[in-house]
Amino acid sequence: MYTTRMSQSTTSETPSLQEAVASLTSDFALLENWNDRYEHIIGLGRELPPYPEEHREEAYEVQGCQSRVWLYPEWRNGKLYFHADSDAVITKGLVAMLVQLYSGRTPEEMMTGSLDFLKEIGLTSHLTPSRVNGLQAMFMKIQQYAAQHQQGETS
Instruction: Classify 93 as helix, strand or coil.
Output: helix
Can you give the pLDDT at residue 25? 94
Please identify which of the residues 65, 69, 71, 135 carries the catalytic annotation: 65
Count of other CB atoms within 10 angstroms of residue 153: 12
pLDDT of residue 13: 73
pLDDT of residue 153: 56
- Identify whether the C-beta of residue 136 lies closer than 8 Å to the C-beta of residue 115: yes
Q: What is the b/e burial string over 63-86, where b = at least 16 CB atoms within 10 angstroms of the residue's CB?
A: eebebebbbbbeeeeebbebbbbb
The class (CATH top level) of 5-154 is: alpha beta
Question: Cα(first)–Cα(last) distance of the chain, in Å?
Answer: 44
Question: How far is Cα 69 from Cα 31, in angstroms, rounded to an integer?
Answer: 26
pLDDT at 9 (0 to 100): 36
Residues of the chain with pLDDT under 70: 1-12, 153-155
Residue 65 annotated to the active site: yes
Position 145 scores a pLDDT of: 96
Give pLDDT, residue 6: 35
- What pLDDT does 71 receive? 98
Cβ 84 vs Cβ 69: under 8 Å: yes
Helices and strands of the chain, counted as H and E runs: 8, 2
- What pLDDT is attached to residue 149? 87
* DSSP H/E element including 102: helix 89-102
